Amino acid sequence: MKTMQIRRLPDAAPVIDGRLDEAVWENATVVDDLHQIEPLEYQAPTDPTRILVFHDDDALYVGARMPQTLDVIGTVLRQGQEFWSDDIFSLIIDTFNDKRNGYRFQVNPNGVRMEAIYENTTATNWDWNGIWRAAASEDDSGWTAEMAIPFKTLSFNPDNDTWGINFTRDVGWTNETSGWVSRNNNTNPSIAGEAVGFTNLQLGRGLDVVPSIVLEGHRTLNPESADYGAEPSLDVYYKVTPSLNASLTLNTDFSATEVDDRQVEFTRFNLFFPEKRDFFLRDSDIFQFGQIGFIGNFGVGLGYTFSRPDLENGQPYFSRRIGLSQAGRPVDLTHGGKLAGRIGRWNVGALAIRQDEFEGVEATDILVARATANVLEESTVGVIVTDGDPRSNRDNSLAGLDFRYSNTQLPGGRVLEADVWYQRSRTDGIHMDDGSYGFRVRAPNRTGFLGSLGSKTIEENFYPALGFVNRSGIRNHTANFGYIHRFRNAPIRTAYWGIDAERMDLIEGGLQTQVLTLRALEFDTDEQFRGHAYLSATREVLARPFVVWRRGDERVVIPAGDYSFDGAEFQFSTPFSRPVWAQVNYSPGDFYGGERQRVSTTFGWRPSRHFVTNLGYQYNDVTLPYGNFTTRLVRFSAEMVFSARLSLVTLLQYDDISESMGINARLHWVPQAGREGFVVLNHNFEDFDRDNRFQSTGSDLALKFYYTFRF
């Protein structure tokens, strides 16, 4: 194991400007022995990297000098946007040095920040937001980055002076990754070195007070009405201990939340929309249960082709059930509190929320509590409890148990994971068939053979009022198996061949859904061109007719019956880092006794890092014995990035099923981490007469600013 002695340099905090030109850096600990992780693990990197590290009483400071033979790629300038195709410098720290969890901080050549929490050694939560600083600069020979990570942002054990630590560097042009420590082409908290010398760390009072003010205006037409007002809100965060965080929210506001992406799917089951509200994303990893919904790492061969809603089916806690009506309209949250962190070997989380009354549903007290204990080397055992139904006046509660086994230390860098869980809900008037249970075993290796096998049962009356269920009364069996091959000195870097299988049976007997997908080829190149070709065989048994398409008074109904159909999917994408990029997906095949042709395209243009535009188009042409129809979904976005601190993002979405169009514009100002301002406009239109003449139906305007005071 690699070990470094990190130096403590009190009263020497540098200016974070991306230059490394202050004398304090000359006394920092030096790390310069990086090796390739991708494509040729343990080979020398194409270009060297020199990393400087030290800490004072208040923060950890990291600087990196990165000479580069090729041009530096820094396409993303907007703070808050992901930048996977840029040059990247990353820091990974495991503050408890337990090889289980940790933090990841990364910066691109424009000083744009990204941060994440490792929920475990194979799952990373990029929705986490922490307050830290970073800056970068370019010159003729490469680029330089600086980071300052306040200890107030982290959870840690002050009695432990040794942290897990790692550094990685990504080169956008060649898709080369280098790092300090790696195994099996991978890095995570279990694959890291150690830094000794974290002493005399100061948290202050550990108190963050975040007041905010929102000025709002709502206008509707037909009937015409208008409403204006101002709403203050307050969030308070307090470190009860260095590893345990408490928070309080009053009059919680979500006006600056991004709008959902529209979806057009031909299914008889509920769709799944991910959480986007910051209040619920913070510490969300604590409440994860049984790895339900876990898709896998991004990359060739490292995910699944299974339906996302089916993967999420059975979640005991899904935060979008709180503060949103069944139709997706906001519901006021008057106050709430949260406790999350670590006590010894226990990871704990508790959420209590008061939701206001709406649409005949009485005001509701909502509770979620979660605890896991670290056992063995990398495993956990846990419990979850929920109480309250935010969308009805019935009493509802749930309790669940789960066990997770993880071993990342197998010979050859192999990984083995297994999850097993059981839940039971309690609902007024329901006294049986209200349980859910399942297991999954995974070998998520990044080279060679990989696979998984899983099964879950959702009983007919299982109702997690704070969770997500899209099918009940079923047994869902899944399996996938494949092989990843890494080429040397070839046009293709990585290729994957595999098969995914899913079968959904009714508990009372009989098949509901069966899908077999042959992943004939997935590949990527050093330049980040990617593509795949899939062949699939599907069988659907409909116990009753369902409406597959509806527009106004028109509709197409598929009769009950047993249907088998084959299909294919072909996709190719060009590098996002180029000034012009594209992704094209074509999916022909049979469909419920007829045919379906699906084309989905995305085109992007970036004339400079200050302006980016995207046009997405999805088209379905369905021919059935029961009727023919087409659907169109258009998504257009334009980003004007005036600086890393100020940007304007406009999003237009239209679909011809609802014949409605929505425009969302967000002016976002980030003077520094922890201080943000927004101006958000939503305007909606509808084509009532289906004659391509859109009429305005209403608009919302919100101005919001919040400021974090740290004590």
* 3-state secondary structure labels for all residues of 44-62: CCCCCCEEEEEECCCEEEE
Domain boundaries, the chain: 3-196, 265-487
Nearest to 665 by CA among 684, 687, 688: 684
Q: What is the C-alpha to C-alpha distance for residues 385 and 321, in angstroms, rounded to an integer?
A: 16
- Report the pLDDT value the prediction gives residue 297, as an integer from 0 to 100: 54
The amino acid at residue 384 is I
DSSP one-letter string for 255-302: TTPPPPPP-----SS--------HHHHTTGGGG--TTTT----SSTTS
Instruction: For the domain made up of 3-196, give the CATH fold.
Output: Immunoglobulin-like (2.60.40)
Judge residue 148's burial from the number of C-beta atoms within 10 Å of its C-beta, 0-12 exposed, 13-18 middle, 19 or more buried: buried
Which residue from 185, 166, 176 is spatially nearest to 68, judged by alpha carbons?
A: 176
What separation, in Å, do the N-terminal and C-terminal C-alpha atoms of the chain show?
Answer: 37
Paired strand residues for 562: 541
Given a contact cutoff of 8 angstroms between Cβ atoms, the answer to whether 484 and 300 are in contact is yes
DSSP 3-state of 146: strand
10-residue averages of pLDDT along the chain (711 residues) = 92 90 94 94 95 96 96 92 93 93 95 90 80 94 96 89 97 93 89 94 87 91 84 91 89 77 81 80 82 69 75 92 85 91 90 93 95 93 97 95 92 89 94 94 89 96 95 95 90 92 96 96 91 96 93 90 96 92 96 96 95 96 95 96 93 92 94 91 88 86 93 87
Helix or strand (DSSP H, E) at 505: strand 492-506
Please give the DSSP secondary-structure letter assigned to residue 427: E
Task: Quote the pLDDT of residue 298.
Answer: 47
Joined together, the tokens standing for residue 464 give 């997690």
**132 three-state secondary structure:** coil
39: preceding bond cis by omega (within 30 degrees): yes
Whose CA is closest to 423, among 348, 316, 285, 293? 316
CB atoms within 10 A of CB 640: 15
Integer Cα distance of 515 and 501 in angstroms:
6
Chain center to CA of 705: 25
Overall residue count recorded for the chain in this entry: 711
Pairing between β-strand 448-458 and β-strand 474-486 as defined by DSSP bridges: antiparallel
Residues 233, 221: contact at Cβ < 8 Å?
no
Cα–Cα distances in Å, from 391 out to 99, 252, 370, 460, 466? 40, 18, 22, 19, 9
Burial class (CB in 10 A: 0-12, 13-18, 19+), 136: buried
**pLDDT in the model for residue 24:** 94
DSSP character string of 318-330: -GGGSSB-TTS-B
Question: Angle at the Cα of 388 (from 385 to 392), degrees rounded to 5?
Answer: 145
Lookup: tokens for 537: 């065989």
Cβ–Cβ < 8 Å for 516, 536 = yes
